Structure 1
Amino acid sequence: MSRVVVVHETGGPEVLRLEERPTPTPRAGEVVVRNEAVGLNFIDVYQRTGLYKMPLPMTPGGEGAGVVIAVGAGVTGLSEGDRVLYAGDGAYADEVAVNAARVTALPRSVPTDLAATLVTKGTTAQYLLFDTWAVKPGDTILVHAASGGTGTLLVQWGAALGATVIALAGSDDKVARARANGAAHAFNSREEGWPARVREATGGRGVDVVYDGVGQATFEGSLDTLRPRGLMVSFGNASGPVTGVALSMLQSRGSLYLTRPTGGSYVGSRELFQRSIGAVLEALETGKIRPTIDQRFGLADVQQAHRALEARQTTGATVLTP
């Protein structure tokens, strides 16, 4: 038997229930992974609350790492006993069946628990920095929630690419952390006037691109920091979804561009996923990114983990350990 976190109805953290289910059997093209760690992401909250519609009952979680314990028909390149990371639905469990196309063998140098945090956050940072906007030396980028899991990687990797990184974070401690990770300028987003402070840091020019995973609370302020024809990348809804966008908001601020990227468009195929996660692992091994696990919760403590994430009490990455 395998322990599984199940959501029967959408709602608060209390709807996350730990149940026992039969250990999965792989279908053709799948492997079963015994999790050693599962990464926690805000998209898990969106699914739990119903912001992102999922068939119920459902098991949250989209990334993890562990050991292959069973291999389905037609799978090549993976064997029982392999250490792997993966992207796949239903990761909040002791064991999970995963599409083998979204499984990657782990280098010996990469700890399994750290690998579990790199799939969603790492590939998101990769496609945002290389594909949504190809960051190059001399660019100035603004990163919201800069001490969170994805924000930390955006700051570190953006700086490694030669960009001037301006960071926003929700406390003075988190601001200091962003500076330590390579931000040239960092400000407290809970203080009024942060858009003006960001523009001042650019000499009044404005930033080339904004990476905003916060959503509703920061959307208009983010637009105010952009240079003419700059790009607003709204990639998350931590404060609620952005609604009521008028095109005149982009026109009046200098013919701005706006995009809402999702992983399905950037890493949805086997080839795109393997390319992206390969770049993430290379960045890890060369020191361009230096992720940390700052919170650990047992699978049985998943409700507590979600409460901490929603209360903005976390920094870096968070893992669940079966």
Structure 2
Amino acid sequence: MHAIRLHAFGPADNLTYEKTEAPEPGPGQVRVAVEAAGVHLLDTALRQGIRGPSPELPALPTVPGREVAGTVESLGADTDPAWLGKRVVAHLGMAPGGYAELAVTGTDRLHEIPAPLDAAQAVALIGTGRTALGILAFTTVTPDTVALIPAAAGGIGTLLVQYVKHAGGTVVGLAGGPAKTRRVEANGADLAVDYTDPGWPARVREFLGERRVTDLFDGVGGATTAAALDLLGPGGRHLIFGWSAQGIGDTAGPLLLDEAEQTRRGITQVRTLGPAMLRQVGGADPIRTLEVAALDLASRGVLAPAVDRFPLSGAAAAHRALESRGTTGKVVLEP
């Protein structure tokens, strides 16, 4: 089979398209003929040797990638034969191996792909979709919600816009440049604003009139967040899920106000990722709960992930595009 391998940490060009041995499924595992593999911002950090939120760096050489969708073409020992031939999607967990024509995973990680979805959309939902719904678990979206969503043209932002609009709320979406703001507007946002324009906060205030932002869905950080916080009204929630403007390896973290300043403004800042999300969702397997919910909402037309497709051999180009913010939606490799 062909796969993308990383032999040394460094630039995107270190990702090489090679012929390599196919992985063999073990007991309780399946081998998937991959139709789509997800690319995550974390992948770009690990490629550089930056641990970021990952507990450790992968051993080299490695085949990156942790999200795959395709057809089950081989079974390991003691694996339910009913899986053979099914179209499935899976998050591989901490085991890499997704950037390949074939990938192995346990049946406990598999989901059947709902009929309306293609493999690339399913990959977007198993990672980006579950994260978006996990963030939304920290608030209740109603027709009174006024959501401000930086990076609204991105993978998570696209889904947040759709969810809030489906619930009847008002969405102000921020994006960089005219092309991305047009996509945000086409996705249903009530107002799409170019955050590279220094006057963008005034445009938002003019649009909202007497209303204030109730929920700031923030994966950006930096100057954009500082300006957005001034638009958040009393009782508002600042839901933090990243700080991409600073880079994934930045140790400064998100823009956090001290408790006294939060009280003065009457707002609440919440870091939504990691253990906090698992506690908020609850249940025996909160991650799987979110994955099932994301696939279900997409099958019913509530969510429609945006996907940027690259050939598997173009993994280096996909990484460069993601790092330069040249993508709109979930980045996916297709063998």
**Paired AA for residue 228 in structure 1:** P
Identity, % of aligned pairs? 35
Residues in 1 aligned to 2:30 and 2:274: alpha-carbon distance in whole angstroms: 22
Question: 1:157-196 to 2 correspondence within 5 Å?
Answer: 157-196=163-202
Give the Å deviation of 1:303.
0.7
RMSD of the alignment, in Å? 2.6
Please state if 1:135 is matched with 2:141. Answer: yes
Aligned residues: 319
Post-superposition shift, 1:79? 1.6
Match of 1:65 in 2: 69
Counterpart check, 1:277 vs 2:291: yes
Deviates more, 1:305-314 or 1:5-14: 5-14
Q: Is the 8 A contact 1:38 1:117 kept in 2?
A: no
Aligned partners of 2:238 and 2:261: how far apart in 1?
A: 10
Name the stretch that deviates more: 43-52 or 264-273: 264-273
Q: Name structure 2 gaps, 5 residues minimum.
A: none
What are the Cα deviations for residues 166-190 of structure 1, in whole angstroms up to 9, with x where unaligned? Answer: 1001012211221221111121011
| TM-fit CA distance, 1:252 | 6.5
Q: Pick from 312, 316, 322: which aligns with 2:329?
A: 316
Structure 1 residues 126, 31: CA separation in 2 closer, same or farther (over 3 Å shift)?
A: same
SS in 2 for 1:25: coil
Change in 2 beyond 3 A, CA 1:143/1:249: farther
Map 1:78-97 → 2, pairs under 5 A: 78-88=82-92, 89-97=96-104
Name the counterpart of 1:239. 245
Deviations 1:28-49 (A, max 9, x none): 3332212011122323223223
Residues in 2 aligned to 1:292 and 1:28: alpha-carbon distance in whole angstroms: 35
Shift of the 76–169 alpha-carbon distance from structure 1 to 2, 3 Å rule, reads same
Report the CA distance shift for 1:246/1:164 in structure 2 as closer, same or farther (over 3 A): closer
Any idea what the Cα deviations from partners look like across 1:228-275, whole Å, max 9, x if unmatched?
232212212322245374516843751432222226643898733333
Q: Distance in 1 between matches of 2:260 and 2:23?
A: 50
Note if contact 2:174-2:181 (Cα within 8 Å) is conserved in structure 1. yes
Q: Structure 1 pair 206/12, CA: closer, same or farther in 2 (3 Å)?
A: farther
TM-score, with structure 2 as normaliser: 0.85
User: Quick one: structure 1 residues 18 and 188, their matched pair in 2 at CA, closer, same or farther if it must change by over 3 Å?
Assistant: same
4+ residue stretches of structure 1 with deviation over 6 A? 267-270
Identify unmatched segments of 5+ residues in structure 1.
none
TM-score normalised per structure 1:
0.88
